[in-house]
A and B are shown apart, each in its own frame.
Chain A
Amino acid sequence: MSFSRLISRWQGLALSLIGVVATVWLGFAGQLGLYIHPRYYVFTLIMAAVAVVLIVGAFAVVPASDDDGHGHADAHDHDGHAHPSTPRRRRRFWMLAGSAASLAVVAAAVATLLVVPPSTLTSSTVEQRSINSSSATLGNTSAQAASTTDDTSAYTVKNWSLLMRQGVGLDYFGGRAESITGFVTPDADDPDNVFFVARFVVTCCAVDAQPVGVAVYQPGWQSSYPVDSWVSVDGTFGADPSVLSAASIVLQPDRIAAIAQPSDPYVY
């Protein structure tokens, strides 16, 4: 069997196997949430299990299948024998190039899915997708709901930023003491004095993640809290003293604690 046939036969199974091993590993490590919405966990793991059965079956069957019904490559070779000239050599070159590309894809898949440690998105993506440009309007986080019930203990960065975006003003926020958790990302307009405690909202997978955040007024914050590190901020909402920042309401911090990245870094 030629090298390129060997590659083309096993490439799909190899890539499937890499994907399945990575998925199952993430599932057991509780890290699937770094990449996909929790509603897909069960489906993803079930399909991974189905794929394992199919891959194992294919491993048992494929080597014996040399020519029944898959003889097209052979037929080609035979045609080739009839015209042993430049086209054949050229085809061999392209087959070899194709095999090299296939191997490169497999190697890249191993490197990205299995070698690189799983991680969240960073502030560089926050810059790409300006913070608080979106706000989910679904669920029980509408302004009305928030105004009538005062239990905000379960509120995340998403709920607060949503309320601000919906135009809820200082009459609601002013003087309210809260604790907020997220990662540090600079305010694009006044990076010296204001940073956002931010999180990504995920609809489906990390590709559609949109950053939301609550502005915190703390001049010189960079010296203590590196960008992308996780913090928990206790403070009181108030008017934004910064002239440059676009945020109108900020959290005036009483205490900022550096924390480890939570196991579920995104909000939904």
Chain B
Amino acid sequence: MEANLGRVPLSRLPTSESSRRDIRAPRTPGGQRLDGQRLGGPNPSLRDLTRSEFNPAPLIGIAAVLVLLGIRWLAPPGLTAWMTDPARDFVTLSISVIIESLPFVFLGIVLSSLVQVWLPEGFLLRRLPRNPALRRLSISLLGVLLPVCECGNVPLSRGLIMSGLTVADSMTFLFAAPIINPITIITTYQAFGWNDGILVSRIVGGLLIANLVGWIFSRHPQPETLLTPGFQEACAVDAAAPRTGRVRRTFLQFSTETSAMMPALFIGAGIAGLIQVAVSRNLLVALGSNPLWSVLALMLLAFVVAICSNVDAFFILSFGSTFLPGGIVAFLVFGPMIDVKMLALLRTTFTAKTLVQVSILIAMCAATLGLAVNFVF
């Protein structure tokens, strides 16, 4: 608590704000001594002293839940009768992306809190090798421990950057983890076995690409400019945040992370739904049996479908023998790293320019890998 005392930048706070906080502060664990001291300082005004300690927020929360349930309860079932079929499918598809991704994003935020709040400071980073290439390699293998698919990895990577991992290293983790995660490996094995080297190409190719991206961006002279200004601010604040009150910090972090991720997820889901309705899948599927076009068409399919890396192998397998192995490998490597939903989520953290560069780089690598599988092996 003493440490907490020293950290609060009293001078920055306007008087009214700080006194208001004083009155409420007994809620926060260990805040009382701090408040006693502060109240003892400049004389509190009558208004401050008479202000109620009552915090309405939990009640507002309950009211919000009731209102939302009420809306659902009262919504007339025939409400969408006027909508055309494509419009209805757009809504259904967008909802489906949200309902499917939401638990993974929550899981990612929880894991991110675990790393940032609950593990001792530097717990992960201290154990990594010093040599940059070896460090990136070990980071890219870290995903084996975390059965989180790509949408959960975004909040987790944000947490890793906040706790001190470099931007380039976190990119390595971000792009390797969804492919190297144990569920993905098992489902890919179930779907393809050892046939055509698809499983091996996916794992090795994914690791190579992730390490390559990490290496290239580690050469960047000012890596912090790869991040959005908002996220840079959040990192700076986090570094200065008190290291006490873990439960409280977990809740606060949940609030800030959802503020960043949820709008991106909802907008990304809307875009994904729209593309599904607008782009005919027939053409992409028809191109899948051409050695050259299969690679590009299936990468585009991966981008559009934005399917979770845990099960994308089953999805692509369901097209049977239509597709060539190289196209399938490109689909399985490119999809977990870059797709329409991922770009929306990544935009919370990286600048648009960075994302364009990363997308082009990964697309070229995945295409090369796919063509190599088609033509060389």
Contact = CB atoms under 8 A, between A and B. Distances in A.
Given A36-B100, A61-B252, A116 B237 contact: no
A209 to B, nearest CB: 8
B224 interface: no
B3 interface: no
Contacts of B100: 35-36, 40, 204-205, 207
A21 B68 contact: yes
Nearest to A45: B103
Interface in B82-106: 84-86, 88-89, 91-100, 102-104, 106
Interface residues of B, number: 103
Contact of B251 (A23, A54, A125): A54
Given A69-B242, A117-B79, A58 B252 contact: yes
Q: Which of A18, A58, A201 is packed against the most chain B CB atoms within 10 Å?
A: A58
Main secondary structure of the interface of A (DSSP, over half): helix
B318 A134 contact: yes
Interface stretch (A101-109, A149-157, A243-251, A252-260): A101-109
A124 B89 contact: yes
A67 B2 CA distance: 18
Nearest to A44: B103
B75 A114 contact: yes
A62 interface: yes
Given A36-B96, A40-B100, A62-B251, A119 B80 contact: yes
Contact of B259 (A9, A20, A46, A204): A9
A64 B311 contact: no
B80 A116 contact: yes
Interface in A32-85: 32, 34-37, 40, 43-44, 46-48, 50-51, 54-72, 74-75, 78
Given A69-B241, A204-B308, A26 B99 contact: yes
B314 A203 contact: yes
B99 A36 contact: yes
A86 interface: no
B329 to A, nearest CB: 18
B315 interface: yes
B72 A21 contact: yes
B61 A19 contact: no
B263 A102 contact: yes
B77 interface: yes
Q: Which of B68, B99, B258 is packed against the most chain A CB atoms within 10 Å?
A: B99
A139 to B, nearest CB: 11
Interface string A134-159: 11111000000000000000000000
A23 B99 contact: yes
B280 interface: yes
A133 B280 CA distance: 13
A35 B92 contact: yes
B376 interface: no
Contacts, number: 291
B57 interface: yes
Interface stretch (B7-15, B121-129, B360-368): B7-15
A57 B12 contact: no
B279 to A, nearest CB: 8
B55 A165 contact: no
B306 A207 contact: yes
A206 B69 contact: no
Contacts of B276: 125, 128, 207
Contact of A203 (B64, B262, B318): B318
A88 interface: no
Given A67-B21, A119-B88, A207-B306, A12 B72 contact: no
Contact of B106 (A50, A121, A122, A228): A50
A108 B266 CA distance: 9
A17 interface: yes
B316 to A, nearest CB: 9
Interface stretch (B23-31, B135-143, B197-205): B23-31
A53 B281 CA distance: 40
Interface in A1-24: 8-9, 11-23
Interface in B260-288: 260-263, 265-267, 270, 272-273, 276-277, 279-282, 285
Interface of A: 8-9, 11-23, 25-26, 32, 34-37, 40, 43-44, 46-48, 50-51, 54-72, 74-75, 78, 102, 105, 108-110, 112-125, 127-130, 133-138, 165, 201, 203-208, 210, 228
16 contacts: A11-B263, A13-B258, A21-B72, A47-B107, A59-B57, A60-B61, A67-B17, A68-B21, A71-B237, A124-B89, A133-B322, A138-B190, A204-B100, A204-B315, A205-B307, A205-B308
Given A12-B257, A43-B103, 10 more contacts: A9-B259, A35-B96, A44-B99, A64-B27, A69-B240, A105-B266, A108-B266, A118-B95, A203-B318, A205-B96
Interface of B: 8-9, 12-13, 17-18, 20-21, 24-25, 27-28, 55, 57-58, 60-61, 64-65, 68-69, 71-72, 75-80, 84-86, 88-89, 91-100, 102-104, 106-107, 109-110, 190-191, 233-234, 236-238, 240-242, 247-248, 250-252, 254-263, 265-267, 270, 272-273, 276-277, 279-282, 285, 305-308, 310-312, 314-315, 317-320, 322
